[in-house]
């Protein structure tokens, strides 16, 4: 069992549930709704239907229609509505049904969600969380598979996080809700019903802006997040057969990035592979390289390798596995930096 450090530190026995990611998110939302009267959920099909992935299952029954609102089909409308709510003392948690459908709300996010604090010199702020399932690999229809976290990491004024485990999902969600500023909370669809983790019943937070080292090794540093984590770990595991050991780091937070965890690992290994399913150009991988350049240039022993999605629209599902990074591509990249 992956008993995370945050948990072990307390030294006490903690009550947990064995949850997959979707259950952990549901549990996290329940926790915040119970705890903080200012929180409320908005989105399409999240009430009676419990969300198309069941992330909000049972919450409307428990908390009522005023706190778990089925909105009209109107992303610009309900994100804008959430802005008004946040201005006026509430803490809206918005669900975008799929990240590929966030675009109508892009304007609200780019021009209001992210700027309100600045343009009112801190008089108003936006304690808002926008949740969105993202990513390919589950045979979804067109547009449902986008992985465009980089658009938002580029946008000044919003934090971006992305868990890869059920444990992190709840802890990051609670921290995101607690945060006084807007947070985009990305949920890897592909991992929703994957592995179960021991998820504490009690509230716990995972600090925004902090990555986590999931596997330790000395030869190569692998940076990834979200749906790429399982294949990053698998590739690292396979490389052991060739006596290559890897640090595998789940960045979890895409804005801001965890500069320390990146620098510490790179200064140890000097060899780096970055994995993301978003398009290569302008992707977060380039930002990581920039941090490495700034902090660890002289430690590098090989040019950094990226294994990413391509600069093409995510294809329909017959080709999605050709679009997505694979363990094989990652292993080749590891070998390349190792043998350089």
- The residues carrying an active-site annotation are 144
**Residue numbers 27-56 binding ligand TPP by CB under 6 A:** 44
Residue 47's φ and ψ, nearest 5 degrees, are -85, -95
Size of the site for ligand TPP (CB under 6 A): 6
Q: 37 or 139: whose CB is closer to other proteins?
A: 139
C-alpha to C-alpha distance for 63 and 66, rounded to whole angstroms? 8
**Residue numbers 101-140 binding ligand TPP by CB under 6 A:** 101, 104
Tokens, residue 76 = 């610009």
Whether omega before 319 lies within 30 degrees of 0, making that bond cis, reads no
**Residue numbers 269-298 binding ligand TPP by CB under 6 A:** none
Binder of ligand TPP out of 20, 26, 71, 97 (CB under 6 A): 97
Tokens, residue 25 = 């998110």
Q: Pattern of binders to other proteins over 16-45, x per CB under 8 A?
A: ----------------------------xx
Residue 49 within binding range of other proteins, rule CB under 8 A: yes
Q: Reduced to 3 states, what is the DSSP secondary structure of residue 174?
A: helix
Stretch that binds other proteins, among 74-82, 117-125, 127-135, 175-183 (CB under 8 A): 74-82
C-alpha to C-alpha distance for 285 and 139, rounded to whole angstroms? 25
Stretch that binds other proteins, among 31-39, 66-74, 224-232, 296-304 (CB under 8 A): 66-74
Residue 327 within binding range of other proteins, rule CB under 8 A: no
Residue 81 within binding range of other proteins, rule CB under 8 A: no
Residue 8 within binding range of ligand TPP, rule CB under 6 A: no
Tokens, residue 181 = 């500023």
Taking the complex as a whole, the smallest distance from the CB of residue 329 to other proteins amounts, in Å, to: 7
Residue 204's φ and ψ, nearest 5 degrees, are -150, 155
Task: Name the residue with tokens 């009690």.
Answer: 202
Taking the complex as a whole, the smallest distance from the CB of residue 297 to other proteins amounts, in Å, to: 24
Tokens, residue 131 = 């949740």
**For residue 320, what are the CA distances in angstroms to 5, 128, 138, 227, 311?**
35, 32, 9, 14, 13
Q: Taking a C-beta distance cutoff of 8 angstroms, is the pair 196, 221 a contact?
A: no
Tokens, residue 253 = 């937070």
Which among ligand TPP, other proteins, none contacts residue 315 (Cβ within 5 to 8 A by kind)? other proteins
Size of the site for other proteins (CB under 8 A): 41
Binder of ligand TPP out of 73, 201, 312, 319 (CB under 6 A): 73
**Residue numbers 117-156 binding other proteins by CB under 8 A:** 139-144
Which among other proteins, ligand TPP, none contacts residue 139 (Cβ within 5 to 8 A by kind)? other proteins
C-alpha to C-alpha distance for 78 and 75, rounded to whole angstroms? 5
C-alpha to C-alpha distance for 144 and 257, rounded to whole angstroms? 26
Number of continuous H segments (helices) and E segments (strands) in the chain: 13, 14
Residue 50 within binding range of other proteins, rule CB under 8 A: yes
Considering only CA atoms, which of 105, 160, 94, 171 is closest in space to residue 131? Answer: 94
Residue of closest CB approach to ligand TPP: 101
Write out the residues near other proteins by the rule CB under 8 A: 44-45, 47-50, 52, 70, 72-77, 100-101, 103-104, 139-144, 280-281, 310-313, 315-320, 322-323, 328-329, 332
Write out the residues near ligand TPP by the rule CB under 6 A: 44, 73, 75, 97, 101, 104
């Amino acid at each position: 069992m992956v008993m995370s450090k945050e948990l072990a530190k307390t030294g006490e026995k903690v009550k947990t549930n064995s949850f997959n990611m979707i259950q952990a998110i549901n549990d996290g939302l329940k926790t915040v709704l119970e705890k903080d009267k200012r929180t409320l959920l908005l989105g399409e099909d999240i009430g009676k239907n419990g969300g198309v992935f069941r992330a909000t299952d049972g919450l409307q029954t428990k908390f009522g229609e005023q706190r778990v609102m089925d909105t009209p089909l109107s992303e610009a409308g309900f994100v804008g509505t959430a802005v008004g709510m946040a201005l006026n003392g509430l803490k809206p948690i918005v669900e975008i049904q799929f990240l590929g459908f966030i675009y109508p709300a892009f304007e609200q996010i780019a021009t209001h969600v992210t700027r309100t604090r600045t343009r009112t010199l801190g008089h108003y702020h936006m304690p808002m969380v926008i949740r969105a399932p993202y990513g390919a690999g589950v045979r979804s229809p067109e547009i449902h598979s986008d992985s465009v976290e980089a658009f938002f990491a580029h946008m000044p004024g919003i934090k971006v996080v992305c868990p890869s485990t059920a444990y992190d999902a709840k802890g990051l969600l609670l921290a995101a809700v607690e945060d006084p500023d807007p947070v985009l909370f990305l949920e890897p669809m592909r991992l929703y019903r994957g592995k179960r983790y021991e998820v504490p019943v009690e509230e716990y937070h995972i600090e925004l802006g902090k990555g986590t080292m999931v596997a330790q090794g000395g030869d190569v540093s692998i940076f990834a997040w979200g749906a790429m984590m399982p294949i990053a770990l698998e590739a690292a595991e396979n490389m052991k057969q060739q006596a290559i050991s890897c640090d595998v780091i789940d960045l979890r937070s895409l804005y801001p990035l965890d500069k320390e965890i990146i620098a510490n690992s790179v200064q140890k290994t000097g060899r780096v592979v970055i994995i993301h399913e978003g398009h290569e150009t302008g992707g977060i991988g380039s930002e990581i390289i920039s941090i490495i350049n700034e902090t660890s240039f002289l430690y590098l022993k090989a040019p950094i390798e990226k294994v990413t999605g391509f600069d093409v629209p995510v294809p329909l599902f017959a080709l999605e596995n050709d679009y997505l990074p694979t363990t094989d591509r990652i292993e080749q990249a590891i070998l390349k930096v190792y043998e350089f």
